[in-house]
């Protein structure tokens, strides 16, 4: 993963068989080449199952033996999730796997025949040629606790998305049948608001019950936070509600289904967070990372799931590049372009780092002070977004030190960026 271009090219020697595989859901096509780009054998296809993978392994070994080769590199595109099973099979059978950028395949497929044609027999050749030229990346497949972390974070994102959809549907229901509801309950998810939606959601039901009965029902489960004044307010807004009077029977049933679905997602999120907490206990340094003010359980789990085993990085700058936060510029002659971040690598990692930086800057005194310094210093002041990106990179360096050296978070050391210019001026 940390190879430079020349080192990647040197991986393909005279004794190397390079195989390009075009990944698909049911049938994969592959072609084999030597280090000079000469094709060995014919196009081979195999199914996406155990027998197909075994056949692919035998085919590769036969070509290596036939051409007196002792090294194998398999290149493929990361096509959706279909490549994962083959990649795991190759890893378990000690077959080297590398990934090529689909954008590179798309751009370079016309080099051989000057035709934009795309098919399952042409793409494997393009993929193999890119590997021979060293235009690939070493793939990382998380194992053990890091694989579990990535899976549980993916589950969390799915459930939180489903819960958000249900919440929006409940709000839509309120807009249709009881738009004044939020005047009484600023947050409909509060205990009294949820109890109202479960027991008597329609304005007509509330009016029929009256404030005394409404308060009596509330008091069965809620001892504090609700009183006669709120009950009176609820009955009053219900009596002048402009909510729909049609399809009330099915409307109540619809809300009942939505609330049940909402409860399921809330329960699942609690279970997922418990699993996250259990997994993070197995990651060295995760406990210290949770002590950073502004970072929560879900955030730490998400970042560590994307980074994986941090020991595979030799420097924090490699993680910065892995997240697409490294600086790049476009210059030509006398023109010097604007410096920006590359936005390559793990998009989810970059997104998580930026999202967590907002609450960190708001709640963490050291980061807040640094943000104010970067945006207001006399020399080269940064825009707010630029400062947040810079702080994301600083957070990466902090996490790298905490996870690799086992040190605890030290907010005082962060202030060196502010103190150093003052000391130099003195």
Number of folded domains in the chain?
3
Residues 6+ away with beta carbon under 8 Å from 270: none
Q: Which domain holds residue 392?
A: 286-425
Is 301's pLDDT higher than 70?
A: yes
Q: Look at residue 28 in the predicted model and tell me its pLDDT.
A: 92
Give the pLDDT mean for 118-142.
86
Q: Which of 89, 113, 141 is the last residue of a domain?
A: 141
Question: Interhelix angle for 365-376 vs 384-405, to 10°?
Answer: 140
Query: In this predicted structure, which of 7-11, 91-95, 233-237, 389-393 has the lowest mean pLDDT?
Result: 7-11
Q: Which of 259, 277, 295 is the last residue of a domain?
A: 277
Is residue 204 located within the same domain as residue 225? yes
More confident residue, 376 or 422: 376
Confidence band, pLDDT 50/70/90 cuts, at residue 421: low
Place of tokens 């549980």: 152
Is residue 327 located within the same domain as residue 372? yes
Is residue 326 located within the same domain as residue 300? yes
CATH number at residue 60: 3.30.420.40
Is residue 160 located within the same domain as residue 272? yes
Place of tokens 């502010």: 418
CATH number at residue 204: 1.10.287
Q: Is the dihedral of CA 114, 119, 121, 125 positive or negative?
A: positive
Confidence band, pLDDT 50/70/90 cuts, at residue 333: low
pLDDT per residue as tens digits for the range 64-103: 999 999 999 999 998 888 899 999 999 999 999 999 988 8
Is residue 11 located within the same domain as residue 92? yes
Q: Which of 231, 251, 277 is the last residue of a domain?
A: 277
Phi, psi of 11 (to 5 degrees): -65, -30
Is residue 53 located within the same domain as residue 167? no
User: Which helix (H) or strand (E) element contains residue 19?
Assistant: strand 16-22
Is residue 74 located within the same domain as residue 191? no
Is 424's pLDDT higher than 60?
A: no
Quick check: helix, strand or coil at residue 387?
A: helix
Give the pLDDT mean for 213-235.
84
Cα(248)–Cα(252) distance, integer angstroms: 6
Is residue 247 located within the same domain as residue 291? no
Is 235's pLDDT higher than 60?
A: yes
Is residue 311 located within the same domain as residue 294? yes
Is residue 412 located within the same domain as residue 291? yes
Q: Is the pTM of this model over 0.95?
A: no
DSSP state of 325: -
Q: What angle do CA 399, 405, 410 make, to 5 degrees?
A: 55
Q: What angle do CA 296, 359, 165 make, to 5 degrees?
A: 75
Q: Where does 61-184 show beta strands of DSSP type E?
A: 71-76, 96-99, 137-138
Is residue 218 located within the same domain as residue 261? yes
Is residue 251 located within the same domain as residue 293? no
Cα(320)–Cα(270) distance, integer angstroms: 32
Q: Look at residue 368 in the predicted model and tell me its pLDDT.
A: 92
């Amino acid at each position: 993963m940390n190879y430079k271009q020349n080192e990647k090219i040197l991986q393909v020697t005279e004794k190397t068989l390079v195989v390009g595989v075009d990944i698909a859901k049911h049938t994969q096509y592959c072609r084999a080449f030597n280090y000079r780009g000469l094709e060995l054998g014919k196009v081979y296809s195999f199914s996406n199952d155990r027998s197909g993978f075994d056949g692919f392994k035998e085919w590769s070994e036969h070509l290596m033996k036939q051409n007196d080769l002792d090294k194998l590199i398999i290149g493929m595109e990361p096509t959706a999730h279909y490549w994962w099973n083959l990649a795991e099979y190759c890893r378990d059978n000690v077959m080297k796997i590398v990934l090529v950028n689909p954008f590179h395949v798309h751009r370079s497929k016309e080099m051989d025949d000057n035709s934009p044609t795309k098919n399952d027999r042409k793409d494997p050749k393009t993929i193999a040629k890119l590997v021979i030229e060293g235009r690939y990346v070493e793939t990382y497949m998380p194992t053990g606790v890091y694989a579990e972390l990535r899976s549980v974070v993916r589950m969390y994102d799915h459930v939180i998305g489903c819960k958000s959809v249900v919440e929006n549907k409940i709000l839509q229901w309120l807009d249709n049948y009881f738009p004044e509801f939020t005047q009484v309950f600023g947050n409909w998810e509060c205990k009294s608001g949820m109890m109202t939606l479960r027991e008597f959601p329609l304005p007509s039901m509330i009016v029929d019950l009256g404030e005394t009965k409404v308060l009596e029902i509330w008091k069965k489960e809620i001892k504090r936070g609700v009183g006669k004044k709120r009950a009176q307010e609820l009955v009053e807004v219900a009596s002048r509600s402009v909510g729909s009077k049609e399809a009330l029977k099915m409307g109540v049933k619809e809300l009942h289904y939505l609330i049940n679905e909402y409860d399921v997602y809330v329960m699942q999120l609690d279970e997922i967070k418990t699993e996250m907490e259990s997994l993070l206990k197995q990651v060295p340094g995760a406990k210290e990372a949770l002590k950073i003010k502004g970072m929560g359980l879900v955030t730490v789990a998400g970042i560590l799931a994307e980074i994986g085993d941090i020991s595979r990085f030799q420097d924090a700058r490699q993680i910065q590049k892995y997240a697409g936060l490294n600086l790049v510029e476009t210059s030509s002659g006398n023109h010097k372009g604007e410096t920006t971040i590359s936005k390559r690598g793990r998009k989810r990692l970059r997104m998580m780092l930026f999202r967590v930086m907002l609450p960190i800057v708001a709640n963490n005194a050291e980061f807040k002070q640094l943000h104010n310094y970067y945006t207001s210093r006399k020399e080269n002041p940064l825009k707010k977004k630029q400062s947040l990106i810079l702080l994301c990179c600083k957070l990466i360096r902090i996490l790298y030190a905490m996870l690799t050296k086992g040190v605890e978070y030290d907010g005082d050391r962060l202030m060196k960026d502010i103190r150093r210019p003052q000391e130099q001026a003195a």
